[in-house]
Amino acid sequence: MLLARTAAAAILGTVMFAGATRPHATPALRMAQMIKAVPTDKKLIAFTFDDGPNRRWTPQVLSLLAQHHAHATFFVIGQEVTRCPDVIQSISRAGMEIGNHGMHHRWLRNLTEEAVKADITGGADAIVAAGGPRPYLYRLPAALADDAARRTLGALHYTVVSWSIDTRDWRRGTSSQRIAQTVMREAAPGKIVIMHDGPAHREATLAALREVLPALQARGYRIVTVGDLLRNSQFAAQRAIPPAPTARKPKAKLVRESRPRSVFPRDWLRRIG
């Protein structure tokens, strides 16, 4: 009976001591939840783009998404954000979602807790400084992390987003046909596609995107952000998901009204004084 009571108490986060209880001195840190896909009965598929922002490639990706009324999540690198903050603002204005990909794209494995936290928070701070929202989604560079890194991400309240459709568009020589075939072959409700919008050459990625966006929509799919997937699933009941970003029109430049030139001489005040 005592053993049963002890086990039950341990589940509740307490330990039994001769009929008395006391809380654990150091409760275990929650590891960040990691997702590769989101269970849903709706024909939704999330597109994600890593390693930007990039002044050459990101605007072209945004243009293609806009043409097809599609949305995506951009996992950006902090050091790239500081190079082109204007592109971050373009992503945000287009109603896309921005996720954290670290400050320096460091692999979060075998690093000190301080180094892990510095890279994660540095990436988030760069996004905010560039005018973007504070991210709640994180993508691991190379999908590498150890338990210490996952605990740090959990303490920072991140959801870690992996992928279920790997286009491998980062590989040199990968053709647009192969990228497109991979997406169309593996497409299913709730899956997450990984592509890249920087910093290397992305002609094949763009060519594949031109093909798969209308092809998926012809199958009845809606191309959405990771956040949209979460909001349309049971996952939404597990934590507060921020509202979906909305597209914003660029602010119109303030045009100053031209004032008519004075008919008085410049020194008229001095003359009448």
Cα 42 to Cα 199: distance, rounded to the nearest angstrom: 33
50 is catalytic: yes
DSSP, collapsed to helix, strand or coil, labels residue 10 as helix
CB 96 within 8 A of CB 103: no
**Which one of the listed residues 101, 119, 169, 196 is annotated catalytic?**
196
267 is catalytic: no
Q: Cβ contacts of residue 115 below 8 Å, gap of 6+?
A: 106
DSSP, collapsed to helix, strand or coil, labels residue 98 as strand
| Tokens of residue 62, six digits | 């945004």
Residue 210 corresponds to which amino acid?
R
**Which one of the listed residues 50, 51, 197, 228 is annotated catalytic?**
50
CA distance readout (Å), 144 to 118, 137, 229:
17, 16, 23
DSSP, collapsed to helix, strand or coil, labels residue 28 as coil
- Tell me which residues are annotated as active site: 50, 196
